[in-house]
A and B are shown apart, each in its own frame.
Chain A
């Protein structure tokens, strides 16, 4: 049984950052919270081992991106079956638009956001990010290149 206080400290320390990262990736606060909760639940189940890892937070973020990847895949399947998908509310639009990074990420697809956040912030290599996202390293590189290019054009367009 995990030690609740030590896990709670881990939760309090990393939840805001994980929630923020998932908001950036998914563009949806509800989705971000659910992914973060599922990732923490999986970590808690293995807390006796995960807490002894050199980098438990790395495991948490990797688990969260795995959850995101699986949900993205299921969402894609569901989308193909639905008649008129409604776009999700974009969390990026709901926050104040003073930050260049947030403005730059808004027009990107979830996959491009994920590739940029994984490689740019979490420090994953293209190979590691590819493993998490279930795609090839060359695709990660293509997504980050496209993402940066789109973000740059968007910022230039809006001045």
Chain B
């Protein structure tokens, strides 16, 4: 590996950067800022014009394309998160109230890349909306928001669910392409699953989710883009009356799955828990021993499963303290998920094993951003 890195370093050195790279960067940055100001102005004017049009006509009379639930009504207040309460990166602070109830029934899931970063939204029958995104405005560490939570009324859940189902896309399972036959298509990839009262119907799009079974028509493209917009900003898209509690909080799980992984390219198989447990201090081993269960991460991770040990949040905090005090491990929060992770030195060929703390979500699984 070191030889390979050195070869790349040597290769990079052959590309001489342009002179005054920082000065050129500052020029680029200024132009970029000016472009954004112009774009913001144009968008502002467009929104103003659109608002006038919306006021003049009822959105529910439109039949040309599926509508967004509650469009045209007063939208929900987007209550910005309290910085002290809205971070779910790592483990929750002591005394934080866990999300209630502990168990929940999924109604809708969104998992995809509407723009730059990955977004995941889980809607539960009890009204909870649990979500996280990369590079979002509520980002706790500059990259991931960690899991956040706010709450819909029962009517709000039904409004959202029926809005998704009546988009015209959920008559059966579909896998659309990213819109290669539609001019100016801008879909990347994603999946929405919704409970239609009988089963979960899945609509996927984009090559990253597998092989498309049908080309996307312009009407379907419009519907998918509207759903992308809807899930990207539920707080603004749904009417105020749909929200029981619009304040965004950190999602505080009741339980954690402690999962093991490694440099996957080297072994091409999941680690057996015992391979990692043997590397840990005895108190940590005692906490984890015999508590294995298999998790199948929700969304986009078909065929990918891990054996993890399930702990209460208090036990997870205790384990984290043991690993931290052991001193031989470094820790980090993984860039995209916000999960806490410890790296433990291991004998070859593993070399380094990772112990990840994944929040167990109310439907009993944890969720990875696997790409």
Contact = CB atoms under 8 A, between A and B. Distances in A.
B332 A55 contact: yes
Interface residues of A, number: 61
Interface string B39-79: 00000000000000000000000000000000000000000
Interface stretch (B22-30, B101-109, B310-318): B22-30
Contact of A20 (B15, B139, B141, B371): B15
Contact of B22 (A11, A33, A77): A11
B265 A101 contact: no
A97 B183 CA distance: 41
A19 B21 contact: yes
Interface in A44-96: 44, 46, 49-50, 53-55, 58-59, 62, 66, 70, 73, 77, 80-81, 91, 95-96
A135 B208 contact: yes
A20 B17 CA distance: 8
Contacts of A55: 332
Contacts of B18: 33
Contacts of B12: 16-17, 19-21, 23-24
A59 B142 CA distance: 10
B332 A40 contact: no
Contact of B32 (A29, A41, A136): A41
A95 B265 contact: no
Interface string B176-188: 0010100101001
A137 B17 CA distance: 32
B371 A131 contact: yes
Contacts of A29: 15
Contacts of B17: 15-16, 19-20, 33
Contacts of B4: 120-121
A119 interface: yes
Contact of A70 (B8, B24, B116, B178): B116
A30 B143 CA distance: 27
Contacts of A53: 141-143
B133 to A, nearest CB: 14
A13 B38 CA distance: 32
Nearest to B142: A49
A103 to B, nearest CB: 10
Contact of B180 (A12, A77, A136): A77
Contacts of A91: 15
B269 interface: no
B199 interface: no
B14 A95 contact: yes
Given A49-B142, A95-B15, A121-B8, A59 B335 contact: yes
B225 interface: no
A110 B180 CA distance: 20
B86 to A, nearest CB: 14
Contact of B264 (A11, A117, A127): A127
Interface in B193-210: 206-208, 210
A150 interface: no
A54 B11 CA distance: 26
A109 interface: no
A131 B118 CA distance: 9
Q: In this complex, which of A37, A49, A80 has the most chain B Cβ atoms within 10 angstroms of its Cβ?
A: A37
A126 B116 contact: no
Contacts of B1: 123
A5 B201 CA distance: 53
Contact of B371 (A15, A58, A121, A127): A127
B142 A134 contact: no
Contact of A49 (B9, B13, B141, B335): B141
A120 to B, nearest CB: 5
Given A37-B25, A121-B4, A46 B207 contact: no
B14 A102 contact: yes
Given A55-B332, A77-B185, A127-B370, A120 B15 contact: no
Contacts of A24: 8, 11-12, 15
Nearest to A8: B22
Interface in B137-151: 139, 141-143
Interface of A: 8, 11-12, 15-17, 19-21, 23-24, 29, 32-34, 37-38, 40-41, 44, 46, 49-50, 53-55, 58-59, 62, 66, 70, 73, 77, 80-81, 91, 95-96, 99-102, 105, 117, 119-121, 123, 125-128, 130-137, 141
Minimum-distance CB pairs A-B, first 7: A20-B12, A49-B142, A131-B371, A130-B371, A121-B8, A37-B28, A46-B142
5 contacts: A20-B17, A55-B332, A131-B369, A134-B189, A134-B371
